[in-house]
Amino acid sequence: MTQPGHSEGADTTADAITIANEFAEVRVRRVDTRNGSRLLIESPRSGQWISLCPLELESLTWQTPLTFSAMIGKPAAPLITDATWEDT
């Protein structure tokens, strides 16, 4: 895995913002890539990270609390597996 935000074509455009409570800690920052701006979300505790485009971020607003409960109920596991995706 490459360093988040340091891949070729990605430029960090903002200082990171850390959001934390007793259950989790994440760092977020905007990065510019050849394909436009993305939001980089990092979990310092787990070392996991994801980079989301504006459409992926907007899709979060379409979800209900049940979606997030399902994701939190199975930490570090995908909500939809390859087998589930192939069935659709």
Region 3-11: mean pLDDT is: 51
Per-residue confidence (pLDDT) for residue 10, from 0 to 100: 64
Closest CA to 43 of 30, 27, 19: 27
pTM confidence score: 0.75
Whole-number pLDDT of residue 83: 75
Decide if 19 contacts 26 (C-beta within 8 A): yes
24-79 pLDDT, tens digit each: 999 999 999 999 999 999 999 999 999 999 999 999 999 999 999 999 998 888 88
With beta carbons less than 8 A apart as the criterion, state whether 54 and 64 touch.
no
Tokens 């995706």, residue located: 85
Length of the chain in terms of residues written: 88
Two tokens, residue 6: 């340091």
| 31: nearest Cα among 23, 41, 39 | 39
